[in-house]
A and B are shown apart, each in its own frame.
Chain A
Amino acid sequence: MNGLITTIIQQLPSIFDFIRQEHAQQHPGEPPLTDDDVKAALAAAVASSIAKDDQWLAAHPEPPA
């Protein structure tokens, strides 16, 4: 149980960051996003996300059958 609580607490910055990003998108006064901006942001998010997966999977290889 303590481990679960610790994990949730560790997750809070990510969750708040997610909430912040959800709210930060396109408010009045911000420079307008272009198609290129959002496509580049998506490509960057995908690349960094997959890199973290690969790093974890390399550190935790499947045990031999």
Chain B
Amino acid sequence: MRRVRHRAAVLLLLAGAVWGGESCASAPPQLSPSGVAAFQARRVVKALDILRDFAIDAEAQTPKVLSTTTTRKVVTYHRSAVSTIGQVPSGWAPTVSQGLLEVQRDLPAAERARLGPYFSLVSALIAEVTR
């Protein structure tokens, strides 16, 4: 029961980050299309950082909340996704979204569940900036 409550609290917090930010996070009107793309891409990089940082912090706990193998997969995905965003600020979304699905599929169910709210945060933000 406590576990469910804590999970709900994290989900609520992350959902608030996305929904709360939505009203304030539209790109400034003076930006060109490439500026808007960079503006939105930076928001996604920050969300990806939260996912990666959670994995690293969880792996560093004693006992480990996430295995080193899972954390390596998340960090490797993160590096690849952020590099793609940096190289293609206007066309990163399909690659980053596909990679996000693949890394989730590649994780053990229990660890995937622990990372679930963070995956949801990134997915929601990608959906928002690409719609």
Question: Which residues on A are within 8 Å of B, measured CB to CB?
Answer: 1, 3-8, 10-11, 14-15, 18-19, 21-27, 32-35, 38-39, 41-43, 45-47, 49-50, 52-54, 56-57, 60, 62
Query: Which residues of B are found within 8 Å of A53, using beta-carbon distances?
Result: 52, 75-76, 78-79, 82
Assembly CA distance A4 to B49 (angstroms):
18
For the complex, would chain B's binding face be called helix, strand, loop or mixed by DSSP majority?
A: helix
Assembly CA distance A34 to B35 (angstroms):
8
Assembly CA distance A18 to B76 (angstroms):
22
B127 CB, min distance to chain A CBs, angstroms: 15
Candidates B3, B14, B31, B61; contact of A3 at CB < 8 Å: B61
Query: Which residues of B are found within 8 Å of A27, using beta-carbon distances?
Result: 24
A10 CB, min distance to chain B CBs, angstroms: 5
Cβ of B131 < 8 Å from any Cβ of A? no
Q: Which of under 10, 10 to 19, 20 to 34, or 35 or more describes the interface residues of B?
A: 35 or more
Contact B65 A3 (CB under 8 A): yes
Candidates B30, B39, B72, B83; contact of A57 at CB < 8 Å: B72
Assembly CA distance A38 to B27 (angstroms):
10
Q: Which residue of A lies closest to B58 (CB)?
A: A7
A9 CB, min distance to chain B CBs, angstroms: 10
Contact A33 B39 (CB under 8 A): yes
Assembly CA distance A5 to B7 (angstroms):
10
Assembly CA distance A53 to B31 (angstroms):
30
A54 CB, min distance to chain B CBs, angstroms: 7
Contact A18 B47 (CB under 8 A): yes
Q: Which residue of B lies closest to A23 (CB)?
A: B24
Supply 30 A–B pairs (Cβ within 8 Å), ascending by A.
A4-B6, A4-B114, A8-B6, A11-B50, A14-B53, A15-B14, A15-B50, A18-B17, A21-B46, A22-B24, A22-B43, A23-B21, A23-B25, A34-B30, A38-B35, A39-B35, A39-B89, A42-B38, A42-B39, A42-B85, A42-B89, A45-B49, A46-B45, A46-B83, A49-B45, A49-B78, A50-B79, A50-B83, A53-B79, A57-B72
